Structure 1
């Protein structure tokens, strides 16, 4: 995988990526570490998987720690940031990658608790530990970002609605964040081949991902999309605070998003 960030460009900086023991989060944290950042690999329950990512980064000469946290639990989030700051220092880059809602047995309100409430809790928990000029990156999908104007597949709708609710809740904090000297950007991409979400959607609706691929022309893979997320952590913030990845021609934009 080709790192979109120049070697050494993040020397001396600290990055925390939620849900980074696998998939997009893991590749994002690898890119950031490859550019010199000291990184926090966050996980919910799969410690060995997170430790494997850490070991890979350390073996390559980087600095990384694995910190478990249940993002739906305020105390757990607070402990995560306290440890990260104590071991690595104030956080310069916070990537809100963790999401879900299609898992079984988590409760009917799990999507909203994770994709909206937990995102707000994480940002509020992070504020005392952010470095001056820090940037917060919220990762979402076109299907969620455009859900108010463009319907999505029924199996994904609860996740899309909850992720859009999370984005809206965070956007309402932009003025407050900017007043404190922090930056905020949304990265919105189409369905990503190889993610757990795509796998679950394909299981629930066979052929759905291939159909979306045909409509879009192509879908990004995990490494490609992670490269865009990593770039969003350092490149200038767009005027509308949104970095679009991939084709958006099939989606209807709102004037304010």
Structure 2
């Protein structure tokens, strides 16, 4: 029995990296978790296998969040396999990948986030929680410049956060809380790798500026804490390096 026993969760973008680690932590504490992937089924299945080997409960579901049928598939999977949904972790993000179109960042980081939340709240009961994951570079983009290669992604993620925050009154009416977790660049993530490829030395420069960057495991642990933290709806939890953006 864990503290999250009875929790039924969806973690978007959880076949690797931060999302996979969050899914593992949730399951370790008793939650049943829908592990979402877009294309890499074997990778998601390995996440599920690891959770099950440790005694947890999880299910891998392939779904493109930019399509309405994708968000519906995730919600249906949670309801049909776990009996409901009371935790949604909006972790999926992107926009630096090649070949997906100039508007992909906005489609994924804003439109898909809103679409996923709107699909989820139809089945989420009072007492549920929604956690949105972002970066300091995106959260503060309207007041602090970021790296050129990351700016389109940052602006699309800020647009996503703003659009989700507009839904807080509707969430509050349903008794659902909404929390944002904002972190600095995270060591070892796809975004950090692509950014360093586009602007060699960018991650090292940010590391020097911040003092240190969090690892995937460290950042996931902070996200995990906010799943049940006693904070008001709309709260933003800053993880590492925020002083640079607020001074």
TM range (shorter): over 0.9
Match of 2:86? 92
Q: Give structure 1 regions of 4+ aligned residues with deviation exceeding 2 angstroms.
A: 237-240
SS at match of 1:94: strand
Q: Over aligned residue pairs, what C-alpha RMSD do you find?
A: 1.1
TM-score, normalised by the number of residues in structure 1: 0.94
Separation (CA, whole Å) in 2 of partners of 1:189 and 1:127: 25
2:136 is the alignment partner of 1:142: yes
Match of 1:29? 23
Return 100-109 or 71-80, whichever deviates more: 71-80
> Would you say how many aligned residue pairs link Structure 1 and Structure 2?
247
Separation (CA, whole Å) in 2 of partners of 1:240 and 1:29: 22
Separation (CA, whole Å) in 1 of partners of 2:222 and 2:93: 17
Match of 1:63? 57
Check whether the contact 1:184–1:237 (CA below 8 A) recurs between aligned residues. Answer: no
Q: Deviations over 1:20-53 (max 9, x none)?
A: 0000000000000000111110101111111111
Q: 1:124 aligns with which of 114, 118, 121?
A: 118
TM-score, normalised by the number of residues in structure 2: 0.97
Match of 1:50? 44
State how 1:202-217 maps to structure 2 within 5 Å.
202-217=196-211
Cα shift at 1:237: 2.2
Q: 1:239 to 1:37 in 2, by over 3 A?
A: closer
Q: Which runs of 5+ in 2 are unaligned?
A: none
2:103 is the alignment partner of 1:109: yes
Q: 1:22 to 1:214 in 2, by over 3 A?
A: same
Separation (CA, whole Å) in 2 of partners of 1:108 and 1:250: 30
Q: 1:157 to 1:58 in 2, by over 3 A?
A: same
SS at match of 1:243: strand
2:243 is the alignment partner of 1:249: yes
